[in-house]
Amino acid sequence: GENVEQHPSTLSVQEGDSAVIKCTYSDSASNYFPWYKQELGKRPQLIIDIRSNVGEKKDQRIAVTLNKTAKHFSLHITETQPEDSAVYFCAAWGRTNFGNEKLTFGTGTRLTIIP
């Protein structure tokens, strides 16, 4: 089945600087890669996603890049703000060994924006 690795596990960034979180996946058949933001005590919220036929996608201060050959994808947050502080999870959508489809999550990155 799919295996998703995520780095770093913690990241501290000065307000206004950029933050980058990286993930790798193992299953070349995976075709959809979402990113979730989870604030303390809240549900994971989908913030951006990318499909396998696209190399980059932007939404205001957030961007995601995908390199299918290398099987890695990254989240870029520019001009960081205190409200960006949260735990971020990457995920990959693919098939399990049983043939059903599911999201496999990375281990998470705790991002802290320093004012």
Partner 1 sequence: SAVISQKPSRDICQRGTSLTIQCQVDSQVTMMFWYRQQPGQSLTLIATANQGSEATYESGFVIDKFPISRPNLTFSTLTVSNMSPEDSSIYLCGARPTVGEQFFGPGTRLTVL
Interaction residues for partner 1, span 34-53 (CB under 8 A): 34, 42-46, 49, 51
CA distance 40 to 8: 19
Contact partners, residue 58, CB within 8 Å, separation at least 6: none
Question: 78 or 112, CB closer to partner 1?
Answer: 112
Residue with tokens 């799919």, as numbered in its chain: 2
Strand partners, 79: none
Interaction between residue 94 and partner 1 (CB under 8 A): no
Q: Which of 92, 93, 94, 113 is the binder for partner 1 (CB under 8 A)? A: 93
- Residue 16 CB, shortest distance to partner 1, in Å, is 28
Interaction between residue 108 and partner 1 (CB under 8 A): yes
Listed residue (109, 94, 80, 93) closest to 19, CA to CA: 80
Interaction between residue 88 and partner 1 (CB under 8 A): no
User: For partner 1, how many residues bind (rule: CB under 8 A)?
Assistant: 22
Question: 78 or 105, CB closer to partner 1?
Answer: 105
Interaction between residue 89 and partner 1 (CB under 8 A): yes
Contact partners, residue 42, CB within 8 Å, separation at least 6: none
Contact partners, residue 46, CB within 8 Å, separation at least 6: 34, 35, 36
Chain residues binding partner 1 by CB under 8 A are 32, 34, 42-46, 49, 51, 89, 93, 96, 98, 100-108
